[in-house]
Amino acid sequence: MSVSQQDKALHIIQRLREAGHGAYLAGGCVRDRILGRPPKDYDIATSATPQSIQAVFPDTVPIGSKFGSVVVVVDGDPFEVTTFRFDGPYSDGRHPVHIRYGTLEEDVRRRDFTINAMMYDPADDRVIDLVNGREDLRRGRIRAIGDPHERFAEDRLRMVRAVRLACGLDFAIDGPTLQAIRSHAAAVTEVAWERIGGEITRTLMEGGARRGVELLDEAGLLEVILPEVAAMKGCEQTPDYHPEGDVFVHTLTLLQHLDGPTETLAYGCLLHDVAKPPCRQPAGDRVTFYGHPELGAGMATDILRRLKRSRSVAERVAWLVRHHLRYTQAPKMRLSTLKRFLGEDGIDELLELCRIDALSSNGDLGYYEFCRQRLAELGREEVNPEPLLRGRDLIRLGYAPGPSFSAMLGAVEEAQLEGVLRTREQAVAWVRQSYPPDENDSA
């Protein structure tokens, strides 16, 4: 029988206590335990110093030992074990100038939010709650410990984390805490963009994406972190296509449809219309947004670079944004063009974006259903078939490598996708007839 994450964490606590140290489960795992949710990970707080922790366990990684944190590895699973500490003043909105090891009480009061500052004593099966975290859980409230202005001055990222926790748990942000975020919002960029990007990504992916963006806006963070998204507010659209409202409302409606999305789909939904504000042009009693998919692809790339997302994520999201209206042309496409479109890597994400884009506007799913039907009829192998001929085949047929190869192979692919050529033998005969070797510098 495999040992659970919880059992391994409790084993670490037991070993520390046998060595004469205090040790408890701490933070989010205690919160999730009270809420009846499976914890994503287990953190441990202890009176043991990093050196003492390393003396107890043979497999450790001192990644944060100068701040009192050591990773203990049990059967390949990492657990963060942190010494009780008291933080000195913060000078950079992220790190304390100095720390000293402290008491359990001091360690609790240096943390961010009350619901993350409880500890659990497995020996007595009791929750240690010095900041009324259980009451805030009962009331569904995110509340900073002590003075929220001080907490956000210590670590600016806590402002974005408050939003992420609120939308993930479907909690409200306590009034004074929210007001403090508004007061400090402009300073959030003192934090490394990679950390900001991580919190924004989790906000979009972990449930409540719409509410997350609304809270970012309400807290004054959206215009600082994602000014291009904030610019969607008040960008009106033609009512018959978009009865739901302006571009911002439309985007929020898309986010409401997300259910366990990939990172790329989440950002694709957030940014698919990001270029509508700069592309908006009045046209009589209507408005147009010509070129917004192409411009939006570049804007999405810039935004995701700013948030320090991976190149592969940025490239896929840019592709989704660039092509999010292309499916409306599918019924008019030649068969070969349709097959190439439906055979694109990422087509399932694109069609899902198209589906919820339609649901979030006039509700017309006709183009989406056409693409899904044709994809089912044609099958994956037919829309993305193995080539009938490759370059080496042309060489064997007596053709010399050169610029003509690309044109010849492209023509064969086109005929294959149109259903004119179905076998290698047919392709060979077609090439010989269409491109006589003496006209192509034959070998």
pTM above 0.85, yes or no: yes
pLDDT tens, position by position, 272-299: 999 999 999 988 888 899 999 999 999 9
Q: Measured between alpha carbons, how far is 71 from 49 in angstroms, rounded to an integer?
A: 13
What is the residue whose two structure tokens read 């001055």?
Answer: 153
pLDDT tens, position by position, 301-315: 999 999 999 999 999
pLDDT tens, position by position, 108-125: 998 999 999 999 999 999
**Which residue type is seen at 325?**
L
Look at residue 288 and give its three-state secondary structure.
Answer: strand
DSSP-assigned states of every residue in 300-315? HHHHHHHTT--HHHHH
Q: Are residues 262 and 341 in the same domain?
A: yes
Q: Are residues 342 and 420 in the same domain?
A: no
In the chain, the number of structural domains is 4
Q: Would you say 171 and 142 are in contact if contact means Cβ atoms under 8 Å apart?
A: yes
Pick the last residue of a domain from 139, 166, 198: 139
Query: Which residue would you say has higher pLDDT here, 256 or 435?
Result: 256
The per-residue pLDDT for 443 is: 40
C-alpha distances (whole Å) from 210 to each of 189, 252, 253, 267 are 22, 5, 7, 12
Cα–Cα nearest to 224, from 184, 261, 259: 184
Q: For residue 82, is it left (φ>0), alpha (ψ between -120 and 50) or beta?
A: beta
Q: Are residues 340 and 248 in the same domain?
A: yes
pLDDT tens, position by position, 217-240: 999 999 999 999 999 999 998 887
Q: Would you say 113 and 171 are in contact if contact means Cβ atoms under 8 Å apart?
A: no
Q: Are residues 282 and 309 in the same domain?
A: yes
Q: Are residues 348 and 267 in the same domain?
A: yes
Q: Would you say 327 and 374 are in contact if contact means Cβ atoms under 8 Å apart?
A: no
Domain for residue 236, yes or no?
Answer: no
pLDDT tens, position by position, 72-95: 999 999 999 999 988 766 665 566
Cα–Cα nearest to 49, from 40, 39, 60: 60
Query: Which residue would you say has higher pLDDT here, 244 or 252?
Result: 252
Strand partners, 282: 287
The per-residue pLDDT for 212 is: 96
Q: Average pLDDT over the chain, rounded to whole? A: 91
Domain for residue 237, yes or no?
Answer: no
Domain that holds residue 113: 1-139
Q: What is the mean pLDDT of residues 29-49?
A: 93
pLDDT tens, position by position, 318-335: 999 999 999 999 999 999
* Per-residue pLDDT band at 442 (split at 50, 70, 90): very low
pLDDT tens, position by position, 185-228: 999 999 999 999 999 999 999 989 999 999 999 999 999 999 99
Pick the last residue of a domain from 104, 139, 174: 139
| Cα angle 411-432-429, degrees, rounded to a multiple of 5 | 85
Domain for residue 238, yes or no?
Answer: no
* DSSP at 66: G
The CATH number that applies at residue 38 is: 3.30.460.10
- Residue 126 phi/psi, 5-degree rounding, is -135, 150
Q: Are residues 149 and 282 in the same domain?
A: no
Q: For residue 143, is it left (φ>0), alpha (ψ between -120 and 50) or beta?
A: beta
* DSSP at 144: B
Pick the last residue of a domain from 335, 357, 383: 383
Q: Measured between alpha carbons, how far is 43 from 25 in angstroms, rounded to an integer?
A: 6
Quick one: the chain helix, strand, coil %, rounded to 5? 55, 10, 35
